[in-house]
Amino acid sequence: MRDIAVISFAQTPARRSVPELNEVEMLMPAVHDALTQVDMTIDDIGFTCSGSTDYLAGTAFSFVSTLDAVGPWPPIQESHVEMDGAWALYEAWVKLQLGEIDTALVYAYAKSSPGDLPMVLTRQLDPITVGPLWADSVSLAALQARSLIDSGKATEADMAEVVARSRKDALNNPKAQLAWDRSAEDHLATDYHIAPLRKGDCPPITDGAAAIVLAAGDVARSKVKRPAWIRGIDHRVDPIHLGLRDLTVSESTRIAAEKAGVADGKVDIAELHAPFSHQELILKEAIGLGDDVAINPSGGALAANAMMTAGLIRIGEVATRISNGEADRGVAHATSGPCLQQNLVTVLEGDA
Amino acid sequence: MCDAVTDQTEVGEILSAPLIIEYPFKRTTGPIIGAFLTGLREQVLVGSKAEDGRVIVPPAEFDPVSGNDLTELVEVGPEGVITTWAWVTEPHAKHALDDPFAWILVKLDGADTPMLGALKAPTMDVVATGARVKPVWADEREGHIDDIAHWVLVEGDAA
């Protein structure tokens, strides 16, 4: 395997709504910040890959126009995934493994705000037996939370601890959307939103963008003091029908974590893409993280959850903490689909 | 004419227009899903038998483990038990029920996997995992998942 590292990461401030900018204008600061940090321009990039979805933009092939944010002239090598940017990063990593290029730019963005997001997300369900019921994303997550509570593996109080800790940690994240210091008891005193979930158990609706630059071997070493090397990356998928899954576990995450080699060394930090509080508990078990691992120091998806982007941000948050010396080895997780259907796990490591 | 030029930094002056978007696909349902939908029209529920003997509802066209074609259909239900539920206090206009209701995963008698439905219930307090439910059929059925109008608790079994 070729050594590939994250050498820069940038994200826009997470906001509930960014009506005054179009997607290109919203994305440009992230792309240019990521390139500028390592003194590069698009001319230095061998491959560009993005993650976004037409279902939010309401326009077919919407990602084509967003390429204006990178200035693709003369013509560039690029690709797009209709998935979170973490999967775009996976494609770029594969491309770098082929050895033809040494650098890649990965970006992701979403304006989650213009439509009725939980209902838009029903369009990813089975179109014949589930989609027509309009079971929104929050309701499906609530079914999963109830399963977890019924199983005895977690309580509403456990979920409340995740909520309180995440929003408190987000106070140290200047890009976060929801950040405050409120106790788990305060959270439990609020009304149910879609029982057993309270509003606080759910992620915010976020508009935002993020970008990462990847580089191979000596190019990475020449650009930054401490590259965050990708030591393992794998993604897996569970069946689309919730009834075919045990909702209290995430089998696809477990397999991805195993294949990515999470257990091959000590984990200092983990950024888990858990949009709903109970999902962090499921992921922690699936990945096999101990209580000594700092989980979501950024505040995670409960603090900011730009669609198609929050998974890529998890990788960027871990990479940043490795490059600045806060951590030596970390795990980043990204998810997509209802109730953690698709999962990607990345293991990042700094040189000793 | 210059009045039309808006200051982009002032959110209140941004020009905007509604955008209605639809994806009006038509799909061929095939012999397995088609049989399930035809069954709904006749008030009969069917699942497919997987290679390991499990009965999957709604029927799966492919074995979830091996990926091989599944062809054997088995009648199930119509009653079943709730395996998990969530209480919706403010239904969406697109939801089947106008009043607060519960989403349920219901495992039908004879089935091994649960399916999604909307349960009509007076309050959250009467809904429980393990409670028995039955379908309420739509008056006019056309071979669509909405032929099950909603689900209700089987009387005498309310938790």
Interchain proximity A132–B60, CB inside 8 Å: no
Q: Are residues A263 and A137 in the same domain?
A: yes
Over chain A, what is the mean pLDDT?
96
* pLDDT attached to residue B157: 54
> What's the confidence (pLDDT) of residue A209?
98
Q: Across residues B145-153, what is the average pLDDT?
A: 97
A198 and A210 in one domain? Answer: no
Q: Is the separation of the CB atoms in A349 and A265 below 8 Å? A: yes
Provide the CATH number for the domain around residue A340: 3.40.47.10
Looking at the fold, whether A184 and A248 belong to one and the same domain comes out as yes
On whether both A46 and A82 belong to a single domain, the answer is yes
Torsion of CA B92, B93, B98, B102, to 10 degrees: -30
Lowest mean pLDDT among A31-45, A53-67, A78-92, B125-139: A53-67
- Average of per-residue pLDDT across A126-131: 93
Q: What confidence tier does B4 reach under pLDDT thresholds 50, 70, 90?
A: very low
Q: Are the beta carbons of B89 and A247 separated by less than 8 Å?
A: no
For residue B10, pLDDT beyond 60: no
Question: Tell me: the pLDDT tens digits for A170-203?
Answer: 999 999 999 999 999 999 999 999 999 999 999 9
Q: Do B86 and A145 touch (CB under 8 A)?
A: yes
- Residue B9's pLDDT is 53
Q: Which of A296-305, B4-13, B51-60, B96-105 shows the lowest per-residue confidence on average (mean pLDDT)?
A: B4-13
Q: What rounded mean pLDDT belongs to chain B?
A: 89
**Residue A224 predicted with pLDDT over 60:** yes
Point out the residue among B16, B114, B118 whose CB comes nearest to the CB of A243: B114
- pTM given for the model: 0.93
Examine the domain organization and report whether A174 and A238 are in the same domain. Answer: yes
Contact B86 A143 (CB under 8 A): yes
Tokens of A127: 């179109």
- Indicate which of B87, B107, B123, B150 best probes the interface with A, i.e. most A CBs within 10 Å of its own CB: B87
Confidence of residue A222 (pLDDT cuts 50, 70, 90): very high
| Separation in Å, CA of B105 to nearest CA in chain A | 7
A-chain residues near B37 (CB < 8 A): 128
Q: What is the pLDDT averaged over residues A24-33?
A: 97
Same domain, A66 and A44: yes
Q: How confident is the model at residue A85 (pLDDT cuts 50, 70, 90)?
A: very high
| Chain A residue at shortest CA distance from B67 | A239
Residue of B nearest to A248 (CA): B84
How high is the pLDDT of residue A73?
A: 87
> Does residue A22 have a pLDDT over 50?
yes
B159 confidence band (pLDDT: 50, 70, 90): very low
Per-residue pLDDT, averaged over B49-57, amounts to: 95
Distance from CA of A127 to the nearest CA of B (A): 9
A128/B87 touch (CB, cutoff 8 Å), yes or no: no
Q: Average pLDDT for residues A318-327, to the nearest whole number?
A: 97
Q: Which domain holds residue A64?
A: 4-116+205-228
pLDDT attached to residue B6:
45
Same domain, yes or no, for A189 and A219? no
Q: How many domains does chain A have?
A: 2
pLDDT (mean) for B128-133:
96
- Output the pLDDT for position B20: 77
A195/A243 same-domain check = yes
Q: Say what percent of chain A tops pLDDT 70.
A: 100
Q: Are residues A244 and A320 in the same domain?
A: yes
Residues A238 and A99 grouped into a single domain: no
Subunit contact A128:B37, Cβ cutoff 8 A = yes
Tell me the mean pLDDT in the region B10-32: 78
Same domain, yes or no: A224 and A236 = no
Determine the Cα–Cα distance for residues B158 and A277; give it in Å rounded to an integer.
Answer: 30
pLDDT of residue B15: 81
CA distance A82 to A249: 25
Write the DSSP string, chain B. -GGG---TT-GGG----------------HHHHHHHHHHHHTT-EEEEE-TTS-EESSPPSB-TTT--B---EEEE-S-EEEEEEEEESS--TTSS-SS-EEEEEEEETT-SS-EEEEEE-S-GGG--TT-EEEEEE-SS--SSGGGEEEEEEPTT---
Residues A273 and A339 placed together within one structural domain of the fold: yes
In the predicted structure, residue B125 carries a pLDDT above the cut 90:
yes
Residue B24's pLDDT is 76
ipTM associated with this complex: 0.92
Q: Would you state the pLDDT for residue B19? A: 79
Q: What's the gap in Å between the CA of A45 and the closest CA on chain B?
A: 32
